Amino acid sequence: MKLSKYFYVTLRETPSDATMPSHIFLMRGGYIKPVSTGIYSMMPMGFRVIQKIVNIIREEMNKIGGIEVDLPVVQTAELWSESGRYQAIGEELLRFKDRNNHNMVLAMTHEEAMTDLVRYVLNSYKQLPVMLYQFKTKYRDEARARGGLIRVREFLMKDAYSFHTSQEDLDRHYQEEYDAYLRIYRRVGIEPVVVQSDTGIMGGKVAHEFMLDTPNGEDYLILCKKCGYQANREIAKFQRVPFKGDENAALEKVATPNSESIDELTKFLNVPAESTAKCVFFDFEGKLITVVVPGNLDVSEIKLHNLLKAKELYPAEDSLIKACGMVPGFASPINAHDTRIIVDEAIADSFDLVTGANEEGFHFKHCNPKRDFPKFEVADIAEASEVCKCPCCGELLTETRGIEMGNIFKLGTKFSESMGAKFLTAEKTTAPAIMGCYGIGVGRLMASVVENSHDDFGPIWPKSIAPFQVEIVPIGKEAELVELAEKFEKELEAAGIDVLVDDRDERPGVKFKDADLWGSPVRIAIGKKGLANGEVEWKFRNEKEFSMVKVEDVVAKAKAYFAE
C-alpha cells in the first residue's frame, strides 16, 4: 500500500482532552476520530488493527467449538422485561419508542437476545452443549466516558454465550474459555492479570476479569504475592482482625472538639484507626441504611449493592440521618432508630471501640457493638486494602491498578429459567439450560495494547496486529530509491506481509515521526548514501538504534522475522 493512495491523517499536537497514552497516540496517529462524547469513528489505520484483533479472537473461539452468529442491537423492551433487566438496569440502558409507540432498547449486552435465539431451537439435551458468539456494536449510555477507547458509550464487543445440560459441563467449558482468553491476550503481547470479580447485572455467582496491570487503570486490584490470590477490590475478601481491648469497660462519653473525620479523631484521642467504628450512610428506596466499618477501611459499595439487591443507592442526606437519631460527623448506631444497621464482620467481633456519641463534639469510648448497638446485621461489607491480610494465606495484600480487557461469567439459569430456554433431559424431564457468557471489548483491547506497549513517540504494535507490519521509507524521489521500494513492497506482500510505502514528497523527519505513530514493527529506510554501499537502514520499532542490511538480504530477513 502506497501512502499517497491511502486515507490517513496525523496530528502534531496532543488533543486537549487526551491524557492516557492510548488516547493520545490513537488520536495523533489517525486511528480514531471523536464524533461525540464516548463515540468514535474508526479510521482506516485503526480499522486494520481492529480487524486483526477480531481475526485472532475468531480463531480462538472457533478452536473451542464456537459458532458465529449476528444478533440485532435494537431490541424490544418486552424481551428485556422477560429477564427482569429492563426494570433492574438504570439509565445506562438506552430506552426509546419506535414510530408505533413500542418500547425499545439499544442493547448494551445480548444475554436476552441470545437466550431467545436458543429457545427458538432448543428441544433436547442432545442439542447441548453449544457456544454461540458474535462481534457486535453495542451501546451503553455511560455517564463518565473517558480515556478514548477505554470507557466509551458505543463499542464493538465479542460476546459469547454457552448453554449446557449440567454445572459440570459448564465448568469444563468455562475453563476452555479461560484458556482461550489467555491465548488471545498473549497473541497481542499482553500477559493479563486474572482476578475474581463482581457478577453485577449479569447475575450468577462466579466471574473473572482479565486485566492489564497499568497505573492508568480505573479498576483497583487486590493481589497476594505469596499464594496468588487475585480479586477486583470491589469484591475482594480478606481476613478480619477484630480490635479487642477491655471487653468489660463501661461506655464513656468524651469531648472530641473538631474531630469529625477519622483522621482528626485518632490524632485527638491518640488511638489507632482500626479501634474506631465508622458510620457511612446510604439512602435506599427512601430509607436510611447505616453501615459500620473499621475506621481504617472503606465501605465496598458493590458489596452493599449486592447485599441489598439495590438498583440505585445514594449517599444519605443529613436530614435523613438526623431523623433517625444520629448526628453526622459524630454518629453511631447507639440509640438510633428507624434505620437498617449493617456492620462489617470485623466490627461485629470487636470491642473497646471509639464511636460517635450522636452529639456534636462528643464520642464514646469502650463501645462494644454486641452490647451497645441496636439490632444489626453482620456482613462482609468493607473494602480490602493493603492493610488487610490475604483470605487464603494471611499474607499482607498488595494493591495495583488495572484496565479490564475482558470478562467471563458462570450465569447459571438466571436467563434460561426466566425466559424459558429449556430442554428435555435424558430422563424425560424438563430443565433450564445452564449458561455462561464471555466478553471482550475489541476497541478497549486495542487501546490496552497501546497502554502496554508504547514509547514517547507512539505505539509499539506487536507483529500480530500492527496496521502495517513493515513501513518502507524512501529518502528522496530518485528513481532508484522508488524502484527498490516498489520491489520490496511487491516481494514482501507476496510473502503475506502487510507493507506501507511512504512515497510522499516530505522531509525524512516528518516521515519518521509518522512512522513512529503508526508503529510498524519494522521500518526500512532507503537512502542514496546507504544504497551506494548496497545497503538500507533497518530499524525495529521497539529498539532505538538502526542497523544497515544488504539489499539482497532484506526480504529474507523480513520473512524470517515475521515467521517467528
CA distance 374 to 440: 47
Q: Could you list the mean pLDDT of each consecutive 10-residue stretch along the chain, which spans 564 residues? A: 97 94 98 97 98 99 98 98 92 96 97 98 98 98 93 97 98 98 98 89 79 95 95 94 93 95 95 96 97 97 92 93 96 97 97 96 97 97 96 96 96 96 97 98 98 98 98 95 97 98 96 98 97 97 96 97 93
Amino acid code (one letter) for 91: E
Task: Return the pLDDT at 203.
Answer: 62
Cα Rg of the chain (Å, integer): 29
Would you state the torsion angle of the CA atoms of residues 285, 295, 389, 299, taken in this order, to the nearest 10 degrees?
Answer: 10
Q: Report domain 468-563's class.
A: alpha beta
CATH (one of 3.30.2010.10, 3.20.20.80, 3.90.190.20, 3.30.930.10) for 17-73+106-209+401-450: 3.30.930.10
- Burial (CB count <10 Å: 0-12, 13-18, 19+), residue 420: middle
- Burial (CB count <10 Å: 0-12, 13-18, 19+), residue 362: middle
284-319: string of b/e by CB count within 10 Å (b at 16+)? Answer: beeebbbbbbbbbbebbbbbbbbbbebeeeeebeee
How far, rounded to the nearest angstrom, does the alpha carbon of residue 343 sit from its chain's CA centroid?
A: 30
Task: Return the pLDDT at 204.
Answer: 66
CA distance 543 to 210: 29
Sequence-distant (6+) residues with CB within 8 A of 385 are 222, 233, 296, 297, 298, 397, 399
Task: Return the pLDDT at 564.
Answer: 85
Give the cell for residue 184. 488471545
- Whether the link from the prior residue into 129 is cis, omega within 30° of 0, is yes
Contact indicator for 45, 28 with CB cutoff of 8 Å: no
How far, rounded to the nearest angstrom, does the alpha carbon of residue 366 sit from its chain's CA centroid?
A: 43
Task: Return the pLDDT at 206.
Answer: 87
CA distance 229 to 193: 11
Q: Report domain 252-376's class.
A: alpha beta
By C-alpha distance, which of 385, 372, 366, 359 is closest to 260? 359
Task: Return the pLDDT at 312.
Answer: 83
Sequence-distant (6+) residues with CB within 8 A of 133 are 61, 66, 67, 68, 69, 158, 159, 160, 161, 438
Cα-based distances in Å from 172 to 178, 185, 323 = 10, 21, 53
By C-alpha distance, which of 43, 56, 50, 102 is closest to 75? 102
CA distance 271 to 355: 12
Domain limits, the chain: 17-73+106-209+401-450, 252-376, 468-563
Task: Return the pLDDT at 205.
Answer: 74
Task: Return the pLDDT at 202.
Answer: 59
CA distance 8 to 442: 21
- Burial (CB count <10 Å: 0-12, 13-18, 19+), residue 72: exposed
Cα-based distances in Å from 209 to 124, 152, 353, 405 = 32, 18, 37, 7
Contact indicator for 475, 508 with CB cutoff of 8 Å: yes
Would you state the torsion angle of the CA atoms of residues 378, 380, 382, 383, taken in this order, to the nearest 10 degrees?
Answer: -170
Matching residue, cell 482532552:
17
485 three-state secondary structure: helix
Contact indicator for 391, 315 with CB cutoff of 8 Å: no
Give the cell for residue 373. 448497638
- Indicate the pTM of the whole model: 0.91
First to last CA, the chain: 23
Matching residue, cell 510522499:
504
The DSSP bridge partners found for residue 339 are none
Amino acid code (one letter) for 558: A
Task: Return the pLDDT at 343.
Answer: 98
- Burial (CB count <10 Å: 0-12, 13-18, 19+), residue 94: middle
